[in-house]
Amino acid sequence: MIKITHNGRPFDAKRFAADIEAKAIALGMQAIEEKARGAAASIVDPETGHHADVFVDRLPGNKVAIRTTGSPAFARLIEKRLGVDPGKVQVMNAADGAAHPKVYLAHASEDKARVRPVAEYLMANGIEVWFDEWEIEPGDSLRQKMEEGLGAMTHFVVVLTETSIAKPWVAKEIDVGMVQQVGGKSRFVPLVVDLDPAKLSPFMQAMLFLKIDPASEVDLKGLVDRLHGVSRKPALGEAPRYVQNAPKGLEGWSAAAVAIGRHIVETSGNAMLVDPAVTLEDLQGSLDLASDDLRIALLDLKDGGYLREMNVRGHYAPQPALFVDFDEVFMPFSPSADAAVLANRMVTGDDRAVDTKGLAEALGWAPRRINSAICYLERVGAIRTRTALASAPWRAVQLVRTDETLRFARNHA
């Protein structure tokens, strides 16, 4: 009698189908990750001129989160390259608001002499302005250049005069500006110059507009303040001492999530796959936090791709993202800085694959430290690793240099 086995066990049709499905999903997820990293890796951050780090983390439900240390402009380029909606690529530690507002200045050609001083004043006060005579050269496509300006803007500013309100082309630009505002992509700022507001369309009359004199510095300064987001509210007082903010680098996490992440990285021996495994009961015994706060924090960390729930329900193990972000704040070493050192050491050596143990000894690093740097490099797709069942205390027995390693090392030299 012939016995059919699969993976060393008696053949079971349902288990076989489940294994095939799991492998197919894993391959699909890997393809998504490689596509995201590949698309992002070839883009130079327009704000810095360098390649920014891009992290692709798996989330529950066969989803991925894409995060970058680059600028918002870099994130938007990645989204365009991947064909995903704006906002899907998260900017890590991004400051609120745009550092430099970008204005598309719509106007009638006949008003150019009056509008030019407005554009010059805005540029002189830290506001990037798309002004047609500065952007369009002979032979350029007018439509293409205008689309570029409209796509990059944070504010659509239209100068409304007796002349411009009768221009069909200005009306089309206004339509685009309104669509951008409705979609949350930019702000719409109408400027009324020597025009009776009663002559505006009913729709425009219902909007808040600014009446300005292009020759008045007071009016222009008021416009600059609005574009830079300068509030007229009184200064905000200091928050009460009992309000705890997340440490820099961990903004957006609850106090309970920060406490769990800190506990894990500080108790981890070597930053291995299940080092440590934690449960709600373990955390209740170690952290002075309410049970419901811990439950929600565990869920947040799991949904964010920082923890994974193990086969035993209620048992959680750290993901590479947790070591990368929380080590940076709470450990006496920096995974990002160590990753740069590690990558530079790899590309200057003769061997394509290097033993992790030997590399750690040469650098004088304990397993815990080099494993955290490995997590960083793996997370940005800068190295390949070779693992073994008995690899402890090393997260990988060998590190393999790739072209991505070379690029990472050069960008972090």
Q: 137 or 29: which carries more pLDDT confidence?
A: 137
| Claim to verify: residue 171 and residue 202 sit in the same structural domain | yes
Once rounded to an integer, what is the mean pLDDT over residues 393-411? Answer: 92
Query: Residue 61's pLDDT is what?
Result: 66
Core vs surface per residue 98-129: b (16+ CB within 10 A) or e: beebbbbbbbbeebeebbbebbebbeeeebbb
- Report yes or no on 248 lying in a domain: no
pTM summary value: 0.52
Model confidence at 238: pLDDT above 80: no
Residue type (1 letter), 327: D
Query: Residue 60's pLDDT is what?
Result: 66
Query: Residue 197's pLDDT is what?
Result: 85
- Report yes or no on 81 lying in a domain: yes
| Claim to verify: residue 320 and residue 265 sit in the same structural domain | yes
Model confidence at 340: pLDDT above 80: yes
| Claim to verify: residue 109 and residue 221 sit in the same structural domain | yes
- Report yes or no on 97 lying in a domain: no
| Claim to verify: residue 110 and residue 223 sit in the same structural domain | yes
| Claim to verify: residue 138 and residue 28 sit in the same structural domain | no
**CATH code of the domain containing 203:** 3.40.50.10140
Q: 278 or 77: which carries more pLDDT confidence?
A: 278
Query: Residue 243's pLDDT is what?
Result: 42
Give the range among 163-172, 178-187, 266-275, 282-291 with minimum mean pLDDT: 178-187
Write down the mean pLDDT value for the chain: 82
Convert the chain into a string of H (helix), E (strand) and C (coil): CCCCEECCEECCHHHHHHHHHHHHHHHHHHHHHHHHHHHHHCCCCCCCCCCCCEEEEEECCCEEEEEECCCHHHHHHHHHHHCCCCCCEEECCCCCCCCCCEEEEECCHHHHHHHHHHHHHHHHCCCEEECHHHHCCCCCCHHHHHHHHHHHCCEEEEEECCCHHHCHHHHHHHHHHHHHHHCCCCEEEEEECCCCHHHCCHHHHCCCCEECCCCCHHHHHHHHHHHCCCCCCCCCCCCCCCCCCCCCCCCCCCHHHHHHHHHHHHHCCCCCCCCCCEEHHHHHHHCCCCHHHHHHHHHHHHHCCCEEECCCCCEEEECHHHHHHHHHHHCCCCHHHHHHHHHHHHHHCCCCEEEHHHHHHHHCCCHHHHHHHHHHHHHCCCCEEECCCCCCCCCCCEEECCHHHHHHHHHCC
Query: Residue 242's pLDDT is what?
Result: 38
Torsion of CA 180, 183, 186, 188, to 10 degrees: 60
156 sits in the region (left: phi over 0; alpha: psi -120 to 50; else beta) called beta
Give the range among 126-140, 267-281, 322-336 with minimum mean pLDDT: 126-140
Last residue within a domain, chosen from 328, 351, 374: 328
List Cα–Cα distances, 90 to 55, 67, 69, 74, 368, in angstroms.
10, 5, 9, 10, 28
| Claim to verify: residue 132 and residue 175 sit in the same structural domain | yes
| Claim to verify: residue 219 and residue 289 sit in the same structural domain | no
Query: Residue 311's pLDDT is what?
Result: 87
Query: Residue 95's pLDDT is what?
Result: 44
Using pLDDT thresholds of 50, 70 and 90, give the confidence band for residue 245: low
- Report yes or no on 96 lying in a domain: no
Query: Residue 96's pLDDT is what?
Result: 41
| Claim to verify: residue 313 and residue 336 sit in the same structural domain | no
Joined together, the tokens standing for residue 246 give 């997340």
Query: Residue 375's pLDDT is what?
Result: 94
**CATH code of the domain containing 366:** 1.10.10.10
Query: Residue 179's pLDDT is what?
Result: 76
- Report yes or no on 9 lying in a domain: no
Query: Residue 98's pLDDT is what?
Result: 44
Model confidence at 63: pLDDT above 90: no
| Residue 265 lies in domain | 255-328
Model confidence at 241: pLDDT above 70: no
* Residues above pLDDT 90, as percent of the chain: 29
Once rounded to an integer, what is the mean pLDDT over residues 218-234? Answer: 80
For the chain, the domain total comes to 4
List Cα–Cα distances, 282 to 156, 168, 302, 316, in angstroms.
54, 68, 17, 11
* Residues above pLDDT 70, as percent of the chain: 84
Model confidence at 184: pLDDT above 80: no
| Claim to verify: residue 164 and residue 222 sit in the same structural domain | yes
Using pLDDT thresholds of 50, 70 and 90, give the confidence band for residue 317: very high
Give the range among 42-51, 89-98, 210-219 with minimum mean pLDDT: 89-98
Query: Residue 43's pLDDT is what?
Result: 66
| Claim to verify: residue 262 and residue 354 sit in the same structural domain | no
